[in-house]
Chain A
Amino acid sequence: MAIFTRRKFLQASGAGLAGILASHQAPVFAQQSTVHWIKWNDFVPASDELLRKTILPEAMKQLGMKINLETVNGNDLQPRVTSAIQSGSGPDVFMLFNNHPHLYAASAVDISDVAEAIGSAQGGYYKLCRSNTNDGKKFMSVPWAIIGGMIAYRKSWFEEVGYSKFPATWQEYHEAGKKLKAKGRPIGQTLGHTFGDAPTFSYPYLWSWGGKEVDEKGRVVLDSKATVESVKFMQAFWKDAHDEGGLAWDDTNNNRAFLSGTICATLNGASIYIESLRKPDQYKTEKGAPLKSDILHSPLPKGPAGQFGMHTFQSHMVPSYSKNQKGAKEFLKWIHDPKNFDAWFLSQKGFATPTTQVWEKHKMWDEDPVMAPFKVAGRLGLTPGYAGPANRKAAEVLTKYIITDMYAKAVQGMAPEAAVKWAAEEVNKVYAGT
């Protein structure tokens, strides 16, 4: 062990004190204000690095507080938030997914002042952002970003079977997929228990046929002719055009399948394309060209009732147990200021779309036409539980995968009417409960 004499102690502490006095700032550990921010491990790792190295140091300097950033796997956020709320201690700013703020409404600080100010200064929030974060009484969290879900597809393969443009309707998509599957290039889609790609496909698909779990007044209307039609169509569509392994896929399987050239199209965030940009030498087409040059994006096709989308959505909640609610709010206000948010947005390259409309005009969208469809992702997006409110019941139906499982059961052989009846009964039980 090193010997620490009285003389050395006096020297060290004297120098330290002089430093503190010179900088007019107390050392970090002595500061009162610390904000602990927990968010997911970004699918674009460069963005987390930018936060750590540039954005947060600047925030700390300007706000005069310490900000601890902790990143965890997206699936681990819910266990963390549950245990933090139950124990009354933990991070001061929590990232939440989709309609989860409704699950934690009782433990969220009213953050309407911050959210309303950002919304009105930036051209207004998209509808989905407001429904996910506002329960009609208050904003429970501040909208952060929309991870746009679009179909990534192989341009040349669709051209080979006669589609110079991406199919506009489900029927056309079915026909194209059938031809492509016959050539060993099926459509890839998960119907498994996974939080991202499964519901962001099954919900808008249902809506586009006119099916809904509840109507505007919150009455369960799932068991309808429109829903049965959607399930019937899905059975044939799945068998004729899809990779049947999709029943077991999680959110990463389709990325791997697409990048290795085994599927022609899949609903996803922009991560497939961004990965192909990052490694042009690794991902190639069968002709040896970089894969990135053969990928385009499209919204989901139209159904009889129109065209819909549902995107992964992120927001930040300040829990009521936080001892530093003021600091947390200050920080959220600061980071959403366009001059601070801009650098983060650019680092995402379009993977995340901002939650207010003013960002549609950003010049970044003109840089890469392949990413352009993501610009308006927020406009097409609705929230689970449509046409009813995005509340706790809708969140329960979502986390039980009832809508996704309705289609999964049908493609496994259950009669469409029976699958719809099963799902409607389950949805009924959720909405009937108190």
Chain B
Amino acid sequence: MLEREGALAFWLLAPTLALLTLFIAYPFVRGVWLSVTNSVVGVPGDFVGMKNFTKIFDDSIFRTAALNTFIYTAVTTVFKLALGLWLALLLNRSFRGKSWVRAFILLPFIIPTVLSTLAWKWMFDPTFSVFNWLFWKLSIINSRINWLGDPELAMSSVMIVNVWRGVPFYAISLLAGLQTINPDLHEAAAIDGANRFQRFWHVTWPLLLPVTMVVVLFSIIQTFADFQLVYVLTGGGPANATHLFATYAYQIGIGTGLLSEGAAISLAMFPALLLVVVFQLWYIRRVENR
């Protein structure tokens, strides 16, 4: 049987297909179905069409959460990319203890998110914040900074933690990309008189772009659906200032037991993410075919 190519391919693909069906396709289809019913915990519910979507779009907390998610993803992605690239360029140089530094850089990414976020929660604590203590000792502030209690500052604090956690992923992935670039190209450009910036802009950046796009794609998807950071740091507060799609969907679906509405909130992410994925895959293909 293994002689026949088609059958072999089928059997090799079967485990992956089974896993994808079980853990991706089935929950997705089930989520779509839930979102068009009036199901609550323990009650399967009936088909209600787009009623849940009408309800959530009329919900001011949902609109806040949607806006928050876009801002959160956009701002953190820019920072993560800039800092990640900078770090990757630094790590691509030769220096003593390079492998140690590379390993340490990964720490924020490796530590379980809930654990590291709890540590951040302590650092932002309204009463015992170590930042406030430090700034006060350095005479930078004379009253406490309300890190998680002020709506704007709370969002900024959540973003800071997300950037801190996300930069290593960018740095290491981009570093891997940098190392595939042939040093001869740089030497040739240098001989032709290109300065450091020109070499980066005309040699490194174009060659790194496909990798960058893939990294950004993954990162946007992950950040858009972020849950743990906000859940641990603020629970979506103060007054919904930090709610994201995922935390609000959880609050409605699991907290209130309105499974169908929770599913609708989760699915509201889907069109936006689909657009991002389609655009980036199209762009990567264009870059590769150039």
Contacts and interface: CB of A to CB of B under 8 A. Distances in A.
Interface in B235-290: 235-240, 251-259
Summarize B's interface: helix, strand, loop or mixed.
loop
B42 A104 contact: yes
Interface size class of A (residues with CB under 8 A): 35 or more
Nearest to A191: B238
Interface string B195-238: 00000000000000000000000000000000000000011111
Contact of B238 (A82, A104, A192, A253): A192
Interface stretch (B70-78, B80-88, B97-105, B142-150): B142-150
A322 to B, nearest CB: 13
B163 to A, nearest CB: 20
Interface string A302-343: 000000000000000000000000000000000000000000
A244 B149 contact: yes
A103 B60 contact: no
Contact of B146 (A193, A248, A257, A399): A248
A395 B239 CA distance: 18
Summarize A's interface: helix, strand, loop or mixed.
helix
Interface residues of B, number: 39
B236 A248 contact: no
Given A107-B42, A426-B60, A247 B255 contact: no
Given A106-B43, A426-B60, A248 B257 contact: no
Contacts of B40: 103, 106, 392
- Highest count of chain B CB atoms <10 Å: which of A82, A104, A191: A82
B125 A253 contact: yes
A82 B144 CA distance: 40
Contacts of B239: 191, 247, 405, 408-409, 412
B134 interface: no
Interface string A59-83: 0000000000000000000110110
Contacts of A422: 60
Nearest to B261: A433
A154 B96 CA distance: 58
A250 interface: yes
Interface of B: 38, 40-43, 55, 58-61, 124-128, 144, 146-151, 154, 234-240, 251-259
Which 9 A-B pairs have CB atoms at the shortest separation, nearest pair first?
A245-B126, A107-B42, A248-B148, A247-B149, A193-B235, A193-B237, A248-B149, A408-B239, A103-B257
